[in-house]
């Protein structure tokens, strides 16, 4: 019995070592990436950390063979200590430089362009005050020009929630929409387990303010619900007991998506999303569904809002474009688990299946298999490229 126990203990200790060695000696894949994240207000880098988790797991490295660093290798706002910061963006490139940059890249990924506001950056002098003003953010002309060059050269473009929304200027947004065949409705939304602003301090202070302004009555919501707001400061609140059959927005994948990307048919999605439509250039891989009752449907109809709308869009012909109409990569992950091969087989250890707001559950059940498939296809495309030497 003691001998068997010692063997089991030895195996328990050896498995992570073998897993790490297996990862360490995987073939490195040279991949030239450009990541844009303008919403990193602190050093956890949650908006893009999941992406770099998979970059590390796949052994994607820079052209010099170095590993990517999630805290340094991105364009946007870089927070520092004692109120210091650095802004690194594409305005340093001239137009001709952007064309050369697109030539060198395999993938550009826009994690978040929402930006930094005085109210959400703890080191800003106005942090926590009622006045809300933009410090830095929004999609810029230089970034639009890079996207256009990437499209023209047949490269891969990936973007997610807040790519089209405020604070991007109307001109740049319309140019980007026309370029990529996506039309933002002006609406964004999020589920809250309670709409009580006292019980949930994460509810933005503008939610009750906009409600009072729009409806001229006091904000008195206490149940769970979905908040929808548009760029004209209109607001719709779907109360779970009055307007919804099912509390959560549901991300539901097409059958072909389930097979190709190894994802479940449906998963709850209780985070930020936006409402878009697409032209025939793109096809829909997955949809959002708001499970409203008759009263909820009537409320949506008042604002011409759909209860079903695209969650993931893709164009995969002359160029590759994927748009996630949600905070797809914003998952609370630690980078260290990416150093072990086969760690996904133990994924149930990392989350509570009964906690639907657990971002790690969404990562393991949907994000990781979907993005892993995307990255494998990018690697395969690169392997198929033929380089001609004079």
pLDDT band per the 50, 70, 90 thresholds, residue 371: very high
Cα–Cα distance for residue pair 365/362, rounded to 1 Å: 5
- Cβ neighbors of 304 (< 8 A, separation 6 or more) are none
Distance (Å, rounded) from C-alpha 192 to C-alpha 223? Answer: 9
Closest listed residue to residue 43, CA positions, set 72, 15, 79, 6: 79
Burial class (CB in 10 A: 0-12, 13-18, 19+), 379: middle
Q: Can you name the residues that pair with 227 across neighbouring β-strands?
A: 190, 237
Q: What count of Cα atoms within 13 Å lies in the side-chain half-sphere of residue 111?
A: 26
Structure letter (DSSP) for residue 27: P
pTM given for the model: 0.90
Banded model confidence at residue 27, pLDDT cuts 50, 70, 90: confident
Tens digit of each residue's pLDDT (9 = 90 or more) over 301-343: 999 999 999 999 999 989 999 999 999 998 877 888 878 776 6
Name the residue ranges covered by the structural domains of the chain: 25-161+327-390
d(CA 47, CA 74): 11
Burial state string for 10-32 with b = 16 or more CB within 10 A and e = fewer than 16:
eeeeeeeeebeeebeeeeebebb
Summarize pLDDT for 208-220 with one digit per residue, the tens: 999 999 999 999 9
Confidence check: pLDDT of 132 > 90: no
Residue 117: partners with Cβ closer than 8 Å, 6 or more residues away: 132, 133, 134, 135, 137
User: How sure is the predictor about 387, in pLDDT bands with cuts at 50, 70 and 90?
Assistant: very low
- State the pLDDT at residue 353: 60
Look at residue 58 and tell me whether its pLDDT is greater than 80.
yes
Residue 388: its pLDDT value, please?
Answer: 40
98: pLDDT strictly greater than 80: yes
């Amino acid at each position: 019995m003691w001998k068997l126990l010692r063997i089991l203990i030895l195996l328990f200790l050896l498995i992570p070592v073998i897993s790490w060695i297996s990862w360490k000696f995987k073939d490195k894949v040279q991949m030239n990436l450009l990541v844009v994240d303008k919403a990193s207000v602190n050093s956890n880098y949650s908006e893009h950390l999941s992406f770099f988790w998979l970059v590390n797991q796949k052994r994607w490295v820079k052209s010099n063979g170095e590993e990517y660093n999630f805290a340094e290798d991105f364009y946007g706002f870089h927070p520092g200590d004692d109120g210091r910061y650095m802004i690194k963006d594409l305005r340093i490139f001239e137009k001709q430089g952007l064309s050369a940059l697109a030539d060198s890249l395999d993938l550009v990924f826009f994690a978040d362009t929402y930006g930094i506001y005085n109210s959400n950056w703890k080191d800003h002098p106005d942090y926590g005050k009622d006045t809300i003003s933009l410090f830095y953010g929004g999609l810029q002309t230089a970034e639009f020009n890079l996207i256009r060059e990437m499209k023209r050269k047949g490269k891969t473009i990936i973007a997610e929630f807040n790519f089209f929304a405020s604070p991007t200027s109307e001109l740049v947004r319309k140019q980007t929409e026309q370029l990529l065949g996506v039309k933002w409705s002006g609406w964004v939304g999020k589920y809250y387990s309670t709409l009580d602003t006292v019980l949930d301090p994460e509810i933005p202070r503008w939610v009750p303010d906009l409600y009072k302004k729009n409806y001229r009555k006091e904000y008195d919501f206490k149940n769970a619900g979905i908040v929808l707001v548009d760029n004209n400061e209109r607001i719709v609140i779907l109360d779970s007991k009055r307007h919804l059959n099912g509390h959560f927005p549901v991300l539901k994948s097409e059958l072909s998506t389930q097979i190709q990307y190894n994802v479940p048919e449906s998963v709850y999605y209780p985070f930020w999303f936006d409402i878009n439509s697409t032209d025939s250039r793109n096809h829909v891989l997955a949809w959002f569904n708001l499970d409203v009752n008759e009263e909820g449907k009537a409320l949506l109809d008042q604002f011409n809002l759909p209860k079903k709308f695209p969650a993931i869009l893709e164009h995969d012909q002359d160029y590759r474009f994927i748009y996630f109409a949600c905070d797809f990569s914003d998952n609370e992950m630690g980078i260290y688990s990416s150093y072990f091969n086969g760690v996904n087989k133990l994924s149930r250890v990392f989350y509570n299946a009964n906690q639907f707001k657990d971002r790690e559950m969404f990562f393991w059940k949907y994000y990781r298999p979907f993005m892993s498939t995307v990255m494998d296809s990018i690697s395969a495309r690169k392997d198929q490229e033929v380089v001609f030497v004079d």
